[in-house]
Structure 1
Amino acid sequence: MTYDLSPRPLNPAFKTPPIIWPNGAKSALFIGFDVDAETAWIGNNPSNVDRMVTTSHGGYDARVGITKILQLMEELALKATFFVPGWTALAHPAVCEPILKAGHEIGHHGYLHKMPDREKMDESFEEIDRGFEALEKALGVRPIGYRAPSGENFPELLAYLAKAGIRYSSSFRDDILPYRHQLADGKPGVVEIPVNFAFDDWNFGMSSRTSPRALFGREAVLPLWVDEFEATHAWGGVTTLVLHPQVSGRPMRWHILRDFLRHVQAKGDVWIATGAEITEHFEQLERDMGA
């Protein structure tokens, strides 16, 4: 494959329209959980399937993490979006079904959590198709939202997502407001609800024997989240969380997340919404501007 390295914006997305959040809110909060389970450990490294202690990191989702996260959402009366790989839904239907029953949104997160790769285009498209099929089979849903496994994307995949009926993505890191992608042919693509890397709990709370990293506790994580949220709130943006039950479902980290969400709720002027709700609001703003 040849690479076009000519100077140009590498994401030719449309400019964000003026955003007015509902109900007089000053900013928005999007609570997103990536329910990777074991796929976080086997999707990009299939040999880990025979390393039971390694995959037990992901096994925590089904044994403890998902249930504890659902309890937290119920306690705080919040709705979230759970991005579920198709493999996870098939392997652990008994703990994924309560997500739906509690009224949360299910999003697409690939099938086996393989990182999208332009040099393996057919395989990347297959991940989308198999993910849809598995979620429909296990949970009876066809999601409208997508979060890229391992957080990667490429132009042809963006077009494939739009063709498949995906209405929004939450993967890119280049804005604090939603925007609409522009496809390679110039046509509108999906809405993007961008991510702030500071709110990815994996960075602070996950390590392993094969790739050891330092872990960070309350004194490092909670002030960072609060400060980043406060600044985003002041700028009128959307604070997008990238959380994992196998991280934030752990006892100490569960309490960090609860305290952060309580801080946001106490502001009183933050619209806490699912990805579908934010997308519907954005699309309505677009229609209003067109009128």
Structure 2
Amino acid sequence: MSTDPTPRPANPAPPAPEFPWPDGKRCALFPGFDVDAESVWLGMDRRNADRLVTMSYGGYEARVGIPKLLELLARYEVKATFFITGWTAEAHPVACEAILKAGHEIGHHGYWHLRPEPGNLATMVEEVDRGFDALKRVLGVKPIGYRAPSGESFTELLALLRDRGIRYSSSWRDDIRPYRHVLPTGPGPIEIPVNYSFDDWNFGITHRMSPRALFGREEVLSIWRDEFDQTREWSGVATMIMHPQVSGRPMRYRILEEFLQYVRRYDDVWWTTGREIADHFEACESAAR
């Protein structure tokens, strides 16, 4: 683990290349869902296994959140990427199979939803490999995309993901367009950066984590619309971080639906999945060589 405080960029990758979006589109909308279920609460504290009201926040996903969101996405003919923890796949196989059956992409989200910590690579090897195993056994898929639980990463983890066949990550916050990580051992995965403003957890479940009040409909819609509008002006990708235990709740569901309706007003938006963005990036990368 490095603690070298020498002034230098934390990310050695150059700024994102300005590859054009497909079909002359001006920007991209990447709807991504983190399917944590109860694992997010177990990842915070294993003692939560006996705190059944706390666990019920996550249990809402399979009972209500996922089915309702799948209905919404089908109605608007939107394909999304669902980053699923291995624990969730094992605990709620029927709900996760419904995601796959609906034609959505499945991404890797760890096993226990453990936050990646530098200096603890052995734990992350187990977390990554166990997540792969669960998704393969339960859903028959090997993901090519990864989203870090609790949005953290480190160099050795990126190398591990690359070596396990992960083609893209969607965890970092330092750009508005995709780029490729640069590692000491060579090129790393593509990064599809996320936007903190599009993380529904910040607005809809904060009362469980802190005394901050919940955000209402107009506040969230205002943030999402303004963030999307400027991202579109800059020809970036609006990467969303949504959770069925948040956006699957009645009022939060309505906010998401109204946001999708708002984006539908524009005919120059590429609605896409992480896999499609990675495919496009790699094609542009090859053509630029």
Q: TM-score range by the shorter chain?
A: over 0.9
> Shift of residue 210 of structure 1?
5.9
> Structure 2 CA distance, aligned partners of 1:127 and 1:56?
23
> Structure 1 CA distance, aligned partners of 2:216 and 2:209?
21
CA contact (8 A) 1:108 1:146 kept: yes
> Shift of residue 44 of structure 1?
2.4
- Secondary structure of the structure 2 residue equivalent to 1:266: coil
- How many residues of Structure 1 are paired with residues of Structure 2 in the alignment? 289
> Shift of residue 160 of structure 1?
0.3
Matches for 1:123-272 after TM superposition, within 5 Å: 123-185=123-185, 187-209=186-208, 211-272=210-271
Q: Deviations over 1:155-211 (max 9, x none)?
A: 0000000000000000000000000000123x1000000001000000000034564
Unaligned runs of 5+ in 1: none
> Structure 2 CA distance, aligned partners of 1:260 and 1:2?
42
> Structure 2 CA distance, aligned partners of 1:7 and 1:32?
34
The residue aligned with 1:98 is 98
> Structure 2 CA distance, aligned partners of 1:45 and 1:13?
34
Residue identity matched to 2:160: Y
The residue aligned with 1:52 is 52
The residue aligned with 2:83 is 83
Unaligned runs of 5+ in 2: none
> Shift of residue 118 of structure 1?
1.4
> Shift of residue 148 of structure 1?
0.1
CA contact (8 A) 2:37 2:62 kept: yes
Alpha carbon RMSD of aligned pairs, Å? Answer: 1.0
> Structure 2 CA distance, aligned partners of 1:261 and 1:269?
14
Matches for 1:62-77 after TM superposition, within 5 Å: 62-77=62-77
- Secondary structure of the structure 2 residue equivalent to 1:111: coil
After superposing the two structures, state which structure 1 stretch, 155-164 or 17-26, moved more. 17-26
CA contact (8 A) 2:207 2:213 kept: no
> Shift of residue 40 of structure 1?
1.1
CA contact (8 A) 1:107 1:147 kept: yes
Matches for 1:23-34 after TM superposition, within 5 Å: 23-34=23-34
Residue identity matched to 1:30: F
- Secondary structure of the structure 1 residue equivalent to 2:89: helix
Residue identity matched to 2:85: P
CA contact (8 A) 1:13 1:181 kept: yes
Task: State the TM-score, normalized to the length of structure 1.
Answer: 0.97
The residue aligned with 1:9 is 9
CA contact (8 A) 1:54 1:208 kept: no
Task: State the TM-score, normalized to the length of structure 2.
Answer: 0.98
> Structure 1 CA distance, aligned partners of 2:119 and 2:234?
38
The residue aligned with 1:39 is 39
The residue aligned with 2:120 is 120
